[in-house]
C-alpha cells in the first residue's frame, strides 16, 4: 500500500450503519492499543458509536483516539455492509459485503463501490493457499444458533425456560444456567463440520446433551436429549451410483442428491451449519415437508440462505434478534404464526454472533492481528489480500471477474 512508504498508515474503525445495527467491532479496545504499541507506523482511530458492545469510554480508557470524520484514513474497517450513502470514495474498505454469491440485495452496493473507485477487501474471502478462511465469526454463529434452537423448542413446547444470550454479558456467564435445565428427550440433528457446526456442537456439549453416532440416531431410541453431527457423506450421495467423494462433491455438487430424508423422520430439531453452494441439493423439498413422516418441529438455520436459493426451503426470510422465530406452514408453503401446532418453527437470524458481540469481536480481532495485519503491512506482496480484493479502482478484482454480469 502506497501510504506506508510515505507516511504512517491511518486505519479507522467505522460506526456500523446497516439497520438493524450490529454491535460487533473488528478490533476491541485492547487490540487497538496493542496494534498502536507494536506498530508505531500505524495510527488507529475509532468513530464514536452509541451502540457498540465496547463503549466509547472503553476505547478512550485504552488510549485509543475517537474521531468523528474518517476522511483522512487510508483504510476503513467495519463488520457489516456499509450503506451506499456512507461510502467514502477512493478508500480501502474491509467488511463483509455479501456479494460473492451474486446476492441480489447487494448488487447496488457493489455497483456503487465500483463507481466510487473503492478498494473492497471482503473478510469472507481472506484465505490461505489451501482456500481455508483466516478470519471469521462462524464459531459464534454456531454457538448462538444452537442455543437459540433449544430456546425455540422451549418456547414451542413450554417444557423449559432458557434465557436469551444477548441479555448476558458474555457466554461464560450465560452457560451457567445449562446445568439447571431439565432437557426433554429431544433428538437434534446438526449438519456441517466447519467452524459454525463445531461452535454449535460446543454449546450442545456444554448443555450436557449426549453426542451419538448418525447410525444410533436413526436406529435407536433414547430417554435423554441426544444429538448427532453429520458430515457431507451422511447427507448427500452421487446421483449416478450412490457413492461419495469429498473433493468431487465440493467441485461438482450438482452431481449429488440428498440422502437426508431418514433424519427428517427421526429428528425433532435441526441445526443447519453447512456452507452451501447454490449448485448443491437442498436437504429436502417443500413437498417432502408436507409428509406425515416429516418430524422436525424446529429448524435453526445458521446457514441462512434465503429460499428458493437455499438448502432449506422454509427459510423464507432472515429473522432478527428481537423477533427470532417465524412459523412455516408446510401446506401453504408460506409464513404462519410462530409456535403453531401444525407449523414448523424457523430461527434464521442472519447476524447471530451479534448476540455474543464482545466474545465474537475479541476472537475476530485476535485473528485479524495474527493473520491479516501482517498482510496489510506488506500489501504489495500479499497474495492473501489479492485473493480477497473484490473491487479496486473501478474494476472487479482478478478473482471476481465472474461477477461482471451481476454488476451489469
- Can you tell me which residue has the cell 448476558? 168
Note the pLDDT of residue 275. Answer: 87
The answer to whether residues 280 and 254 touch, using CB atoms and an 8 Å cutoff, is yes
Q: What count of other Cβ atoms lies within 10 Å of the Cβ of residue 121?
A: 27
Does residue 128 fall inside a structural domain?
no
For residues 2 and 392, the answer to whether their CB atoms sit within 8 Å is no
Considering the domain architecture, whether residues 108 and 158 belong to the same structural domain is answered as no
CB atoms within 10 A of CB 293: 10
Residue 182 lies in a domain: yes
Angstrom distance (rounded) from CA 234 to CA 215 = 10
pLDDT at site 21? 86
105 and 213 co-located in one domain: no
350 with 364, same domain?
no
130 within some domain: no
Do both 184 and 311 map to the same domain? yes
Phi, psi of 390 (to 5 degrees): -80, -35
User: Residues 72, 200: one domain?
Assistant: no
pLDDT confidence of residue 7: 62
- Check whether residue 112 and residue 256 sit in a common domain: no
Q: Are residues 94 and 157 in the same domain?
A: no
- Does any domain span residue 131? no
pLDDT, tens digit only, all 408 positions of the chain: 544 445 689 999 999 999 888 999 999 999 999 999 999 999 999 999 999 999 999 999 999 999 999 999 999 999 999 999 999 999 999 999 999 989 889 999 999 999 999 999 999 999 999 999 999 999 999 999 999 999 999 999 999 999 999 999 899 999 999 999 999 999 999 999 999 999 999 999 999 999 999 999 999 999 999 999 999 999 999 999 999 999 999 999 999 999 999 999 999 999 999 988 889 999 999 999 999 999 999 999 999 988 998 999 999 999 999 999 999 999 999 999 999 999 999 999 999 999 999 999 999 999 999 999 999 999 999 999 999 999 999 999 999 999 999 998
- Is the separation of the CB atoms in 110 and 403 below 8 Å? yes
Q: Are residues 272 and 343 in the same domain?
A: yes
Q: Distance between CA atoms of 46 and 295, rounded to whole angstroms?
A: 49
Are 108 and 182 part of one and the same domain? no
Does some domain include residue 84? yes
Considering the domain architecture, whether residues 385 and 338 belong to the same structural domain is answered as: no
Beta-carbon contacts of 276 under 8 Å, excluding residues fewer than 6 positions away, are 303, 305, 310, 311
Assess contact for 279 and 308: CB atoms under 8 A: no
Residues 229, 103, single domain; the answer is no
Domain end position, chosen among 327, 355, 383: 355
Which of 330, 355, 380 finishes a domain? 355
CATH code where residue 385 lies:
3.40.50.720
CA 39 to chain centre: 30
H or E segment and range at residue 346: strand 344-347
| Inside any domain, residue 133 | no
- Domain, as residue range, for 149: 138-355
Give the chain's domain count. Answer: 2
Residue 122 belongs to a domain: no
Give the 3-state secondary structure of residue 270. strand
In a domain? residue 308 = yes
Q: Are residues 245 and 361 in the same domain?
A: no
Amino acid at each position: 500500500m502506497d501510504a506506508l512508504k510515505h507516511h504512517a498508515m491511518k486505519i479507522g474503525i467505522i460506526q456500523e450503519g446497516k439497520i438493524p445495527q450490529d454491535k460487533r467491532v473488528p478490533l476491541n479496545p485492547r487490540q487497538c492499543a496493542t496494534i498502536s504499541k507494536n506498530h508505531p507506523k500505524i495510527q488507529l482511530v475509532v468513530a464514536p458509536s452509541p451502540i457498540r458492545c465496547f463503549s466509547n469510554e472503553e476505547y478512550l480508557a485504552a488510549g485509543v483516539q475517537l474521531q468523528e470524520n474518517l476522511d483522512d484514513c487510508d483504510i476503513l474497517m467495519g463488520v457489516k455492509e456499509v450503506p451506499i450513502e456512507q461510502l467514502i470514495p477512493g478508500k480501502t474498505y474491509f467488511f463483509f459485503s455479501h456479494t460473492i454469491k451474486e446476492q441480489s440485495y447487494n448488487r447496488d452496493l457493489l455497483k456503487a463501490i465500483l463507481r466510487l473507485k473503492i478498494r473492497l477487501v471482503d473478510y469472507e474471502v481472506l484465505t490461505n493457499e489451501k482456500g481455508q478462511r483466516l478470519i471469521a465469526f462462524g464459531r459464534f454463529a454456531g454457538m448462538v444458533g444452537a442455543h437459540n434452537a433449544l430456546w425455540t423448542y422451549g418456547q414451542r413446547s413450554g417444557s423449559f425456560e432458557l434465557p436469551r444470550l444477548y441479555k448476558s454479558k458474555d457466554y461464560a456467564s450465560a452457560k451457567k444456567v445449562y446445568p439447571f435445565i431439565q432437557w426433554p428427550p429431544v433428538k437434534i440433528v446438526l449438519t456441517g463440520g466447519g467452524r459454525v457446526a463445531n461452535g454449535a456442537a460446543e454449546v450442545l456439549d456444554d448443555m450436557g446433551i449426549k453426542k451419538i453416532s448418525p447410525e444410533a440416531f436413526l436406529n435407536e431410541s433414547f430417554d435423554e436429549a441426544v444429538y448427532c453431527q453429520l458430515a457431507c457423506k451422511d447427507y448427500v450421495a452421487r446421483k449416478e451410483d450412490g457413492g461419495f467423494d469429498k473433493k468431487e462433491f465440493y467441485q461438482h455438487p450438482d452431481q449429488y442428491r440428498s440422502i437426508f430424508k431418514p433424519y427428517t423422520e427421526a429428528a425433532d430439531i435441526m441445526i443447519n451449519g453447512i456452507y452451501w453452494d447454490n449448485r448443491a441439493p437442498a436437504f429436502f423439498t417443500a413437498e417432502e415437508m408436507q409428509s406425515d413422516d416429516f418430524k422436525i418441529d424446529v429448524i435453526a438455520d445458521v446457514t441462512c440462505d434465503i429460499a428458493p436459493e437455499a438448502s432449506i426451503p422454509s427459510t423464507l426470510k432472515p429473522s432478527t434478534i428481537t423477533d427470532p422465530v417465524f412459523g412455516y406452514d408446510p401446506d401453504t408453503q408460506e409464513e404462519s404464526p410462530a409456535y403453531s401446532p401444525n407449523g414448523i418453527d424457523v430461527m434464521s437470524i442472519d447476524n447471530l454472533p451479534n448476540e455474543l458481540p464482545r466474545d465474537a469481536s475479541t476472537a475476530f480481532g485476535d485473528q485479524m492481528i495474527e493473520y491479516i495485519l501482517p498482510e496489510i503491512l506488506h500489501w504489495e506482496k500479499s497474495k492473501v489480500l489479492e485473493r480477497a480484493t473484490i473491487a479496486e479502482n473501478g474494476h472487479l478484482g482478478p478473482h471476481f471477474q465472474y461477477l461482471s454480469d451481476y454488476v451489469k
